[in-house]
Amino acid sequence: MAAAGRSQAMHFHARAGEKVRNAVLQRALQKAKPLFVGKRAKGIASLAEDGLDFEMLRSTGKNIRNRNLADLDVWLDIFEERATATGAEVLWARDGAEVSRLVVDIARRHGVSKVVKSKSMLSEEAQLNEALAAAGIRPVETDLGEYIVQLAGETPSHIIAPAVHKTIAEVEALFAKEHGRPPETRTSADIPAMAQEARAVLREHFLSAEMGISGANFLIAETGSAALVTNEGNGRMVTTLPKVHVVITGIEKIVPTLEDFATLMRLLPRSATGQAISNYVSLLTGTKRAGDHDGPEKTVFILVDNGRANLLGSDYQDMLRCIRCGACMNHCPVYFSLGGHAYGWVYPGPMGSVLTPLFTGIENALDLPHASTGCNQCGAVCPVAIPLPTLMHRLREEQNERGLRPLSERLALKAWAWLAGKPVLYRWFARRAARYLNWLADGSGRIRIFGLAPEWTAGRDLPVSSGRTFHELYSARKKP
């Protein structure tokens, strides 16, 4: 799979260790987590004001998305027909490389030298910025978080808060350097001023770019429109100022009607940022019409597969319901111990642990489906009820079926399962094990260094009991 090229997902374990030790990153994450969780909780609670219940609403959302996927080809055909009728062009891309090829081609045909971008995770899948730069076209990210990440030469670490891994001090140092001014001491009270500074820089780009690229939160089949959900207003600039607008999005983002879109919009902003509705919701249809003050002269939709169609009808189809709200990672204890970069590819957190192996190859992301405690905090908050732990579990099974687990793990499990099937032998072994643990504890009640589980005792003691098993003590008690 071509997408595996840049993936670092095979190095999850090593990268995770590094992230845990990064004190600056840990500070940034520990600050962000309660904000995300608290805001969503408030947003979900506010559903009651509209007489709505989260469980009921998300079951409706799930059903809408399931219906979209059941007849995906039909809705895509309708979308293409309606969008074309509004004057837009609809192109199809099999993978990320094809996306880049198409975008560069469009840019060249329109003499584009600078592109302003609104947030698009699919453009990350396609490594589009690299492809544009290689073709001599300058891509400028205009979402504030994406702008920071681009200045730093990094990739987004969160699907809706791309720079969540950065502290204010880091951003200030970056801005001072890149904007050519002396650094200052900044606190959270200075965030509006810093945003204003970025806005001034970005304004010049908005006015000079010949092309805008955005993603789409949804594609609406009945109107041939792209729906864009944003908070900063940069999306409006990107999609209306430049003469060419290219929308890049996955084929699974389609919903049949505006009514469906409205229902999903009750779930998306609340799950993402806790807002009842985002600051901007744009429905982008066709091109600039006679009498319009603004809008692109040329609109192109690039609808991308990049591994999605393979999931239809598979054990993983539920994953295609995802509406990219980020709630799963915001509630994931693993994500908030590491940040997104540890996951090694475009999508982090629980949804990434499912999508990365599916899009880049199961054999190229062996750790990710295991990088979960199975706590199901993600599944409990998912606005379209994707059973994320179940999907990770299915990937674990597939690793076993394909012989991809390490030999040591397979042998240990095999020996243990064999023993657990033989109660008499198991009892004997458990008694020996209890004695051994007790001997290691040396009367202290705890083991401080345990060669058989070094990863446990690196950060924790292992409390042990008296050296007798329950069954041993129970048998002794029964005998008079």
Partner 1 sequence: MRLALYVTCLVDLMRPSVGFAALRLLEATGGEVVVPEGQTCCGQPAWSAGNRRQALDLAKKAIAELEGYDHVVIPSGSCADQIRNVYPQLLADDPHWAPRARALAGRSHELTSFLVDVAKTELVASEFAGSVTYHDSCKGLRGLGIKRQPRELLAKVRGLSLEEMADCEECCGFGGAFSVKFGAVSTQIVDRKCDAIAAVGADAVVGGDLGCLINIEGRLRRRGDETTRVLHIAEVLAGGDDC
Tell me how crowded residue 191 is: count the other CB atoms within 10 A of its CB.
Answer: 13
Shortest reach from residue 271's CB to partner 1, in Å: 17
Question: Binding residues for partner 1, how many (CB under 8 A)?
Answer: 63
Interface residue with partner 1 among 2, 47, 78, 430 (CB under 8 A) is 430
What span, in angstroms and rounded, lies between the C-alpha atoms of 269 and 236? 18
Q: Give whole-number Cα distances, 414 to 109, 252, 410, 419, 439, in Å.
A: 61, 40, 6, 9, 26
Query: 23: part of which helix (H) or strand (E)?
Result: helix 23-45
Shortest reach from residue 230's CB to partner 1, in Å: 30
Q: Give whole-number Cα distances, 418 to 415, 425, 429, 438, 471, in Å.
A: 5, 10, 12, 25, 19
In sequence order, the 6+-apart residues with CB closer than 8 A to the CB of 366 are 10, 357, 399, 404, 405
Interface residue with partner 1 among 414, 428, 439, 449 (CB under 8 A) is 414
Shortest reach from residue 434's CB to partner 1, in Å: 6
* Strand-pair partners of 254: 219
What span, in angstroms and rounded, lies between the C-alpha atoms of 121 and 199? 22
Shortest reach from residue 380's CB to partner 1, in Å: 6
DSSP letters, 242-278, are: SSEEEEEEEGGGEES-HHHHHHHHHHHHHHHTS-SS-
Helices first, then strands: H and E counts in the chain? 21, 12
Contact between 173 and partner 1 per CB under 8 A: no
* Strand-pair partners of 117: 141, 213
What span, in angstroms and rounded, lies between the C-alpha atoms of 446 and 473? 20
Contact between 225 and partner 1 per CB under 8 A: no
Contact between 428 and partner 1 per CB under 8 A: no
The contact mask relative to partner 1 for 382-411 (x = CB under 8 A, - = no) is -----------x-xxxxxx----x---x--
Contact between 353 and partner 1 per CB under 8 A: no
Interface residue with partner 1 among 45, 195, 420, 449 (CB under 8 A) is 420
The contact mask relative to partner 1 for 20-59 (x = CB under 8 A, - = no) is xx----x---------------------------------
The contact mask relative to partner 1 for 310-339 (x = CB under 8 A, - = no) is -----------------------xx--xx-
Interface residue list for partner 1 (CB under 8 A): 13, 16-17, 20-21, 26, 333-334, 337-338, 369-377, 379-380, 393, 395-400, 405, 409, 413-414, 416-417, 419-421, 423, 426, 430, 433-434, 437, 446, 453-456, 458-466, 468-471, 473-474
